[in-house]
């Protein structure tokens, strides 16, 4: 599959580099889009190749009442980077 081709089973673009531990902004956006479509946590996890607990935890941590219970991928990623909830984008020397 070439770099810009979509995966036929999901219709999603492949991700070039992915951390086994932290969700990327692209993965968070995919979670938001798939959740809006009404997919279950297990279905989303299967499409992303992540554990259902990872998707569930992401949604639970980042769906706040003042956000009307909706999951906003960009806001979640910002919260992650600002609140030291995750280390994505931080060099190993900084850790």
Q: What are phi and psi of 29, to 5 degrees?
A: -65, -35
Q: If DSSP codes are grouped into helix, strand and coil, which group holds residue 54?
A: helix
Q: Residue ranges of the alpha helices (H) in 4-88?
A: 25-36, 41-48, 52-62, 73-82
Task: Summarize pLDDT for 43-66 with one digit per residue, the tens.
Answer: 999 999 999 999 999 998 888 777
* Claim: this prediction has a pTM higher than 0.85: no
């Amino acid at each position: 599959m070439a770099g810009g081709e979509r995966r036929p089973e999901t219709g999603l673009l492949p991700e070039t580099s992915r951390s086994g531990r932290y969700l990327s902004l692209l993965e968070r956006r995919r979670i938001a889009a798939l959740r809006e479509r009404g997919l279950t946590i297990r279905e989303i996890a299967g499409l992303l190749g992540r554990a259902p607990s990872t998707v569930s935890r992401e949604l639970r941590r980042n769906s706040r009442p003042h956000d009307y219970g909706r999951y906003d991928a960009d806001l979640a990623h910002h919260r992650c980077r600002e609140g030291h909830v995750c280390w994505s984008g931080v060099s190993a020397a900084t850790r």
